């Protein structure tokens, strides 16, 4: 069932029981902009208990916040009771929410463009779309393409500092401006973002970099002086050459790639050279990345991908000095495609061109053929597993990669020969 149809059924159900229910927030915004909403949220005056009693297959996800998740026809729809508390600073988590009406609910949301409701069963006289219920001036701001805090910006950001980070996320995603008073309220409060849990900050940053304009989002984060508190470092004013080059003609890059690009831009403040980046990658970068792991609550997977990418840069830098086996190892590394993407974004055009030219025939030969001999073969030859055993396996694989051994017989003979010395 289409997500919209599922959401309409739920609205119908709630209304048949005498409740007020609307589409709310992001789905209304996206539909008005002509984008397909990625999911539907419903706001209602029914309490979570009433919602759960009316809708089978529902479960409370944030009962304290009045949110019930309803599964219908393969869709997840969040049904939230109109509430007067939205979000929380981690220091001041409300232990209960006060339920209210639609208007107060709208006015406690973050930005005007996120504060709209829609009635899917009535038509708007002008547009013929859903009737819009707008208590906050969201429609005008959608038309003017601005992200504006609802009400007094400083007050709203002080209620939940994370909203400061949500402003550039939505602005970059929609290619909107942040309304000047809203932006002006963020700068002096930016440092307080550090009070928000690292988990919430990390989720927001990941969502921001997953959007269509990650370099723009990061540029706004820097301009608003949120970069320091986000990364738990000092604020720096830097051009984003690497991030911009990375994203120039590619969209939806892996999170780890964008983080490494950002890290490099912050480190070099525009004074980039291939050599300096390689030096950084081989020295300070891993420790800095570990601090980012904490600051952004990075998953092990994202951290390890970024780390592996950085580790390949010094190897790529030595390309002309590498033997064939080492070159093939580099090309076969799982982090190589993203490391190469990064190299192309660095001032390393000449080196990368040579590397790509020389890599081509190796790639055609196959950079990671199955090994001709494995550990079992070595055991059959009477060797015992251990460090020397591991090294021998690597060496025979190198010999295979650079063509010194060409078949299984040759590889076994090579091992027998070497094993005498082990």
Smallest distance from the beta carbon of 39 to Mg ion, in angstroms? 6
Residue written as token pair 């061109």: 353
Smallest distance from the beta carbon of 115 to ligand ATP, in angstroms? 6
Strand locations in 180-264 (E): none
Q: Nearest CA to 34 among 174, 167, 216, 166? A: 174
Smallest distance from the beta carbon of 162 to ligand ATP, in angstroms? 5
Q: CA 147 to CA 318: how far, in whole Å?
A: 47
Contact partner, 330, from ligand ATP, Mg ion, none, Cβ < 5-8 Å per class: none
* Site membership for Mg ion, residue 261 (CB under 5 A): no
* Site membership for ligand ATP, residue 267 (CB under 6 A): no
Smallest distance from the beta carbon of 45 to ligand ATP, in angstroms? 17
* Site membership for ligand ATP, residue 109 (CB under 6 A): yes
139, 116 contact by CB (below 8 A): yes
Options 50-58, 157-165, 264-272, 294-302: segment touching ligand ATP (CB under 6 A): 157-165
Contact partner, 229, from ligand ATP, Mg ion, none, Cβ < 5-8 Å per class: none
* Site membership for ligand ATP, residue 329 (CB under 6 A): no
Residue written as token pair 């939940």: 160
Q: Which of 14, 22, 75, 87 binds ligand ATP (CB under 6 A)?
A: 87
Contact partner, 211, from ligand ATP, Mg ion, none, Cβ < 5-8 Å per class: none
Q: With b meaning 16 or more CB within 10 Å and e meaning fewer, what string describes 285-296?
A: beebbeebbebb
Q: Is 420 helix (H, G, I), strand (E, B) or coil?
A: coil
CA dihedral of residues 197, 232, 280, 345 (deg, nearest 10): 70
120, 130 contact by CB (below 8 A): yes
Q: Which of 7, 8, 22, 26 binds ligand ATP (CB under 6 A)?
A: 26
What's the gap between Cα 388 and its chain centre?
42
* Site membership for ligand ATP, residue 163 (CB under 6 A): yes
Tokens of 212: 């269509």
* Site membership for ligand ATP, residue 328 (CB under 6 A): no
Contact partner, 85, from Mg ion, ligand ATP, none, Cβ < 5-8 Å per class: none
* Site membership for ligand ATP, residue 81 (CB under 6 A): no
* Site membership for ligand ATP, residue 160 (CB under 6 A): yes
112, 152 contact by CB (below 8 A): no
| Vertex 201: Cα angle to 196 and 204 (nearest 5) | 140
Q: CA 220 to CA 230: how far, in whole Å?
A: 13
* Site membership for ligand ATP, residue 110 (CB under 6 A): yes
What residues from 1 to 60 belong to the interface with Mg ion (CB under 5 A)? Answer: 26
Tokens of 308: 């592996």
Q: CA 91 to CA 371: how far, in whole Å?
A: 56
Contact partner, 110, from Mg ion, ligand ATP, none, Cβ < 5-8 Å per class: ligand ATP
Q: Under the rule (CB under 5 A), what is the footprint of Mg ion? A: 26
Q: Under the rule (CB under 6 A), what is the footprint of ligand ATP? A: 25-26, 38, 41, 86-87, 109-110, 114-115, 160, 162-163
């Amino acid at each position: 069932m289409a997500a919209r149809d599922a959401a309409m059924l739920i609205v119908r159900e709630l209304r048949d029981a005498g409740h007020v229910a609307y589409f709310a927030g992001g789905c209304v915004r996206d539909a008005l902009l002509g984008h397909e909403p990625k999911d539907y949220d419903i706001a209602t005056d029914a309490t979570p208990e009433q919602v759960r009693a009316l809708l089978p297959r529902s479960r409370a996800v944030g009962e304290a916040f009045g949110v019930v998740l309803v599964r219908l026809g393969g869709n997840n729809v969040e049904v939230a009771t109109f509430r007067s508390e939205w979000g929380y600073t981690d220091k001041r988590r409300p232990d209960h929410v006060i339920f209210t009406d639609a208007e107060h609910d709208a006015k406690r949301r973050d930005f005007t463009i996120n504060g709209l409701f829609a009635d899917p069963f009535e038509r708007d006289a002008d547009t013929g779309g859903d009737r819009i219920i707008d208590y906050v001036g969201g429609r005008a701001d959608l038309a003017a393409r601005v992200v504006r805090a609802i009400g007094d910006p400083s007050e709203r950001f002080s209620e939940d500092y994370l909203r400061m980070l949500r402003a550039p996320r939505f602005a970059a995603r929609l290619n909107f401006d942040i309304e000047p008073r809203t932006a002006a309220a963020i700068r002096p409060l930016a440092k307080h973002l550090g009070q928000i849990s690292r988990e919430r900050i990390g989720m927001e940053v990941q969502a921001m970099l997953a959007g269509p304009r990650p370099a723009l989002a990061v540029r706004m984060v820097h301009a608003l002086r949120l970069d320091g508190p986000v990364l738990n470092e000092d604020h720096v004013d830097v051009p984003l050459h690497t991030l911009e080059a990375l994203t120039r003609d590619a969209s939806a890059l892996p999170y780890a790639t964008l983080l490494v690009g950002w890290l490099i831009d912050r480190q070099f403040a525009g004074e980039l050279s291939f050599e300096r980046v390689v030096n950084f990658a081989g020295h300070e970068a891993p420790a800095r990345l570990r601090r980012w792991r904490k600051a952004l609550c990075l998953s092990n997977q994202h951290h390890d991908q970024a780390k592996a990418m950085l580790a390949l840069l010094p190897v790529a830098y030595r390309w002309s000095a590498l033997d064939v086996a080492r070159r093939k190892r580099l090309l076969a590394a799982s982090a190589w495609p993203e490391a190469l993407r990064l190299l192309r974004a660095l001032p390393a055009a000449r080196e990368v061109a040579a590397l790509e030219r020389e890599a081509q025939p190796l790639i055609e030969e196959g950079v990671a053929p199955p090994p001709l001999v494995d550990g079992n073969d070595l055991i059959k030859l009477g060797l015992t597993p251990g460090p020397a055993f591991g090294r021998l396996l690597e060496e025979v694989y190198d010999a295979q990669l650079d063509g010194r051994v060409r078949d299984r017989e040759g590889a076994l003979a090579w091992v027998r020969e070497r094993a005498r010395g082990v």
